[in-house]
Amino acid sequence: MSPVLIRRVRLGAAFVLLTYLILHFINHALGLISLDATEAGRRWFLVMWRNPIGTLALYGAITVHGVLALWLLYQRRSLRMPAWEAAQYGLGLVLPALLAAHVVGTRIAWWQFGTEDRYPRVLLGYWVVAPERGIWQAITLTMAWIHACIGVHYWLRFRRWYPRVAAGLFAFALLLPTFALVGYVAGGREVVALARTPGWREALARVTHPPSPAQSATLVQIRLRFLEAYLVALVGVFAARGVRHLWQRRRSIRVLYPGERAVTVPVGFTILEASRTAGVPHASVCGGRGRCSTCRVRVVLGLTDLPTASEAEQRVLARVGAAPDVRLACQTRPVRDVAVAPLLAPSTAPTDALAADVRQGRERELAVLFADLRGFTRMAEHKLPYDVVFVLNRYFETVGTAITTAGGVTNQFTGDGVMALFGIDVGPAAGCRQALAAARAMVEGLATLSAELSGDLPAPLRIGIGIHAGSAVVGRMGWGQSFYLTAVGDTVHVAARLEQATKDYNAELVVSEDVGRYAAIDLSAFRRDDLAVRNRAGRVPVRIIARVTQLP
Ligand code: FES
């Protein structure tokens, strides 16, 4: 089975189990209303899960999820992993053993001996007959919920929309089990009170048909057989890992990292497992599942000796626009010595997962916008520094909002100037249209700001904007904490010159004719000129737009 198929099947099984758990918790929470409400909810719950399809879905999901978890445990060469992953694995491995008694006492007892697992009967067991089992059951369900929440969080966390919904999901993840536990306690207290009523227990036994002592002994045997089988499967996986380890130790390879660091691991380890084994810091937002791309490495030596990337790996690499010598460390198992350089910082944030691979710089066609406040330096001379900072921050807020709303990326704020990039992902045609829309929004926003600050400003704020489009090298540049996306090249140089030219032309906007052509906008109504640009052969044909509001 391919890793992608395994992942999909496992995810499907996990969804079935998550649905079951959520509905089970909602059912428990009905205990807040009454025991009768809980029991009524259970009947609906059983309609869904105790029909042939529901049974197949639920027990199929439990089997698939469990078997694949053991398979993945066998597959991974190193057991070194981040704490969250270890917690998820650990909880997942103990849950079958902890849940066995509950499943055997309810579902199997019903199936084998016709015992009705109604809420009052189950709660009687957990609150009156054996309260310690009741506490364990509450702990077990909480552990199952934590296991599920970790899985969902780490599955979703590098989706772009996730930060927007994370707070809501977190609240849900906290409130649902809380309500379920409170409902469980309320139901339990009701049952404790009812159990004191003479004849209640007997009446309950008549309708629920508890197993006879012989049947109870059979159920205990079933539980013990299951636990034995599970233990054998677990020990078997670890034994198989040990045998494989001994076998593979006969042949090892070296993974070389920048700074002459070398790690020797048996053949069969992924590059990420090699990093983890030796404690080499290595980004892996998705935990090595081949989904986030953050573990990617440039292969400095030994590229041709590496096994070909799987289709899934190629898809992820293509999605981030990776260069041909880049591989996913978590998916690549070298068979010979290899030298690699991780491309992302170990502390890479989930939001950087699957982001275009611009760190190394890529040539793109895009639009570049420069803007500058006119006469602000002179104006600032007569103001207190605090006032200058206040006005500048309001100005940056106004133009920054206009740029990002139009789809651009604010790049540099220097003095009272700003540089922005448009069309990095969507191409120069859309980029030019976005840049022109941003220019209009900037001027309009500045007019509003000037009106707002009219009491503090000697004259309304004015701006000069230059836009040019063409190719530039775009990449994340900087050092330490100061990395930002920027562009370099002739296009940037020309855009800066067009912004300066707005002073000479006394215009709000000067754009190169390339911008009009890319944006498919007719600028022939505006004055044309050929602009000389320092250190550049040939002149740049431009259009001079005195008032941005005149733009079509
Ligand atoms: S760790 Fe996420 S793709 Fe490798």
Could you tell me if the CB of 330 is within 6 A of ligand 1? yes
In ligand 1, which atom is closest to the CA atom of 328?
4
For ligand 1, atom 3, the nearest C-alpha belongs to 290
In angstroms, the CA 45 to CA 52 distance is 14
For residue 7, how far is the Cα from the chain centroid? 16
- Averaged pLDDT of the chain: 88
Q: Which candidate, 9, 63, 70, 86, places its Cα nearest to that of 288?
A: 86
Centroid of ligand 1 to alpha carbon of 344 (angstroms)? 11
Could you tell me if the CB of 41 is within 6 A of ligand 1? no
In angstroms, the CA 365 to CA 424 distance is 7
Q: How confident is the model at residue 471 (pLDDT cuts 50, 70, 90)?
A: confident
Could you tell me if the CB of 292 is within 6 A of ligand 1? yes
Centroid of ligand 1 to alpha carbon of 22 (angstroms)? 29
In angstroms, the CA 320 to CA 304 distance is 21
Residue-wise pLDDT tens digits, 398-448? 998 899 888 888 877 777 889 999 988 778 899 999 999 999 999 999 999
Least confident of 64-68, 135-139, 483-487: 483-487
Residue-wise pLDDT tens digits, 25-62? 999 999 999 999 999 999 999 999 999 999 999 999 99
Could you tell me if the CB of 344 is within 6 A of ligand 1? no
What is the model's pLDDT at position 475? 75
Distances (CA, A) of 261 to 249, 274, 431, 527: 20, 12, 43, 62
Centroid of ligand 1 to alpha carbon of 169 (angstroms)? 24
Q: How confident is the model at residue 22 (pLDDT cuts 50, 70, 90)?
A: very high
Token duo for residue 483:
């990395």
Q: Which candidate, 356, 357, 288, 362, places its Cα nearest to that of 328?
A: 288
Predicted structure pTM score: 0.60
What is the model's pLDDT at position 356? 54
Mean pLDDT over residues 327-356, rounded?
80
Distances (CA, A) of 281 to 48, 82, 168, 267, 345: 47, 11, 32, 21, 8
In ligand 1, which atom is closest to the CA atom of 353?
2
In angstroms, the CA 133 to CA 127 distance is 8
Distances (CA, A) of 286 to 14, 156, 489: 16, 9, 35
* CB-CB neighbours of 122 under 10 Å: 22
Centroid of ligand 1 to alpha carbon of 329 (angstroms)? 7
What is the model's pLDDT at position 369? 96
Residue 194, C-beta contacts closer than 8 angstroms, at least 6 positions apart: 35, 120, 200
Centroid of ligand 1 to alpha carbon of 292 (angstroms)? 5
Q: Which residue has the tokens 């909480």?
A: 142
Mean pLDDT over residues 262-278, rounded?
90
Q: How confident is the model at residue 277 (pLDDT cuts 50, 70, 90)?
A: confident
Could you tell me if the CB of 284 is within 6 A of ligand 1? yes
What is the model's pLDDT at position 342? 85
- With a cut of 60, say whether residue 113 has pLDDT above it: yes
Could you tell me if the CB of 317 is within 6 A of ligand 1? no
Residue-wise pLDDT tens digits, 480-522? 556 667 788 889 999 999 999 999 999 999 999 999 999 999 9
Q: What is the CA radius of gyration of the chain?
A: 33
Could you tell me if the CB of 271 is within 6 A of ligand 1? no
Distances (CA, A) of 429 to 132, 137, 299, 425: 68, 61, 35, 11
What is the model's pLDDT at position 478? 64
